[in-house]
Amino acid sequence: MGINIEVHGLKLAYDAQPVLEETSFTVERGGLVALLGANGAGKSTLLRCISRILRPTSGSILLDGQGLEQFDSKEAARKMAVVPQETTADFDFTVEDIVMMGRFPYLGRFQKEEQKDREIVRRSMEMTGVSHLAERSIAALSGGEKQRVIMARAVCQQPEALLLDEPTANLDIGYQSMLLELAARLNREQKVTVIAAIHDINLAVHHFNRFILLSGGRVMAAGRAEEVITPENIRKSYGVPATTYRHPLHGVLQVSVVRGRTSEENLSGSGPAVHVIGGGEEALPVLELLSQRGCRLSVGPVSAQDSGCRFAHFHSLPVVIVPPFTSMNGVHKEEHLKLMREADMVVVPPIPLGEGNLPVFEEVETALDEGKPVYIIDLAGVERRDYSGKARPLLESLVEKGAGVLETFDDLHETICPGGGKLNE
């Protein structure tokens, strides 16, 4: 089972508006491919060409080396099944009726469904987990259930290739991964070639192992995630600045769109200069908020690989970096003090505190003594993130010396940018 699909120099235009321009690629037998691209990049159009709904102006599509137009409708339907974004199912067909329609390409005009067909229907419904819905009307199902029924029909078609056109666009996250996992399972167990148009890149990388990125009707990149999903490619095809990172749990590549300012703006922001102590996930929202408010930021000290460090690098911010598994030395302290002196104020986010980073507060104290305003966020909850047992007295001593206390980081912009409550400027 499984066929390979070659697309050569496909061209197609809707009313003189070109949608596909010289689109070419090959999907190997048993490939598990996600077709990525911005809205209007030609993903659906391309799939509709492969599924013979649209006829390209020029170019060719080959299934196992044979031209698509050489198959008659039923032959083609035995090779390929399609799961569309949405199926209008306003009719009172039962789920079983709908799945049975997947047997259509195998039945002669006057042939009745046989035991064998019913058995295949039963197994398809079992595999997609819709057996219990068999007698229900398709019109009464939820979007997620309906889509699984359509999937069951596709399985019932016993195809060698499965095309999915934004199959998860209307589903909640639970059904999204369930459906794509089903496609991946068909690929694994029955070697069905799968091509799915998906606009959610972060979802796609979890379930697929090959990617084709379309942009303006052309293939911009094809291959493994690392080759295709790069900030550069994302920026060019989706027109937004983006950053990629590894999923903290699964290690797959993820994409995040960067909001707001460019790095130049960050260096020359109109807001006050703020130094933020420490990194880690707790500091990130503070950094993000201050950055949105137009503050000129500096960060540190953070260890390399820390998310605060990545943030600083991404926005080209001044940062004190301590190599992993080492402690601060004199040079770091000097740098740190320098950054605080250059800033208008210092913010201490609710970071975890331990023997390793408490010495940082010696410099903070120095800065405070020199008259630099210091704000400590969430002093009340410090016990929860204190691994040394010494943090509270230390911070309270800073407060005695005049450091301000903020309940949550939301209070920051009141304090730091009074009147400057412009969101997402």
Partner 1 sequence: MAGLVILLCAVAVNAMVWGSVSIGWRNVLVILLEALPFGLVFEGLEIRSVHEDILLQIRLPRVFLAAAVGSSLAVAGAVFQGLFRNPMADPYVIGISSGAALGAVFAMLSGFSLAVGGFGAVPLFAFGGGIITIMLVYSMARVGQAVPVMTLLLAGIAVSAFLSALVSLLTYFAGEKLHMVVFWMMGGLGGATWHQVRVMVPYALVGFICVSIFSRELNAMLLGEETASHLGVDTERVKKIMLAGSSLLVAAAVSTSGIIGFVGLVVPHFVRLVAGPDHRFLLPASALLGAVLLIATDTLARVVIAPSELPVGIITALIGAPMFVYLLKKRKKLRYFGGGG
Exposed (0-12), middle (13-18) or buried (19+): which is 16, by Cβ within 10 Å?
Answer: exposed
Are the beta carbons of 217 and 41 closer than 8 angstroms? yes
Name the nearest CA neighbour of 371 among 394, 344, 349.
344
State yes or no: residue 314 binds partner 1 (CB under 8 A). Answer: no
Are the beta carbons of 223 and 23 closer than 8 angstroms? no
State yes or no: residue 318 binds partner 1 (CB under 8 A). Answer: no
User: Contact with partner 1 (CB under 8 A): which of 17, 39, 109, 418?
Assistant: 109
Shorter beta-carbon distance to partner 1: residue 47 or 290: 47
Shorter beta-carbon distance to partner 1: residue 77 or 222: 77
Q: Which stretch binds partner 1 (CB under 8 A): 71-79, 179-187, 218-226, 317-325?
A: 71-79
State yes or no: residue 107 binds partner 1 (CB under 8 A). Answer: yes
User: Contact with partner 1 (CB under 8 A): which of 1, 38, 62, 101?
Assistant: 101
Question: How many CB atoms neighbour CB 310 within 10 A?
Answer: 16
Closest approach of partner 1 to the CB of residue 96, in Å: 11
The tokens of 158 are what?
């016993």
Name the nearest CA neighbour of 32 among 199, 183, 182, 147.
183
> For residue 24, which phi and psi values (nearest 5 degrees)?
-140, 135
Closest approach of partner 1 to the CB of residue 91, in Å: 4
Shorter beta-carbon distance to partner 1: residue 35 or 156: 156
156-215: contacts with partner 1 (CB under 8 A)? 157
Identify the residue whose tokens are 């058995």. Answer: 119
State yes or no: residue 141 binds partner 1 (CB under 8 A). Answer: no
User: Contact with partner 1 (CB under 8 A): which of 98, 164, 287, 297?
Assistant: 98
Q: Which stretch binds partner 1 (CB under 8 A): 60-68, 69-77, 265-273, 348-356?
A: 69-77
Closest approach of partner 1 to the CB of residue 79, in Å: 10
User: Contact with partner 1 (CB under 8 A): which of 5, 7, 41, 76?
Assistant: 76
Closest approach of partner 1 to the CB of residue 105, in Å: 4
Q: What angle do CA 157, 168, 24 make, to 5 degrees?
A: 70
State yes or no: residue 89 binds partner 1 (CB under 8 A). Answer: yes
Question: How many CB atoms neighbour CB 322 within 10 A?
Answer: 23
User: Contact with partner 1 (CB under 8 A): which of 16, 17, 39, 90?
Assistant: 90
State yes or no: residue 53 binds partner 1 (CB under 8 A). Answer: yes
Shorter beta-carbon distance to partner 1: residue 89 or 220: 89
Shorter beta-carbon distance to partner 1: residue 104 or 314: 104
Closest approach of partner 1 to the CB of residue 117, in Å: 12
Per-position DSSP letters for 124-185, written without gaps between them: HHHHTT-GGGTTSBGGGS-HHHHHHHHHHHHHHT--SEEEEESTTTTS-HHHHHHHHHHHHH
Are the beta carbons of 150 and 83 closer than 8 angstroms? yes
* CA atoms within 13 A of residue 104's CA, in its CB half-sphere: 13
- H or E stretch at 298: strand 296-303
Shorter beta-carbon distance to partner 1: residue 161 or 353: 161
Shorter beta-carbon distance to partner 1: residue 54 or 367: 54
State yes or no: residue 135 binds partner 1 (CB under 8 A). Answer: no
User: Contact with partner 1 (CB under 8 A): which of 105, 278, 350, 373?
Assistant: 105
Report the alpha-carbon distance of residue 381 to residue 377 in Å, rounded.
Answer: 9
Any residues with CB less than 8 A from the CB of 100 and at least 6 apart, and which? 113, 117, 118, 121, 156
Any residues with CB less than 8 A from the CB of 317 and at least 6 apart, and which? 266, 267, 297, 298, 299, 311
Residues that bind partner 1 (CB under 8 A): 48, 51-53, 55, 72-78, 80-82, 84, 87-94, 97-98, 101-102, 104-105, 107, 109-110, 137, 139-140, 153, 157
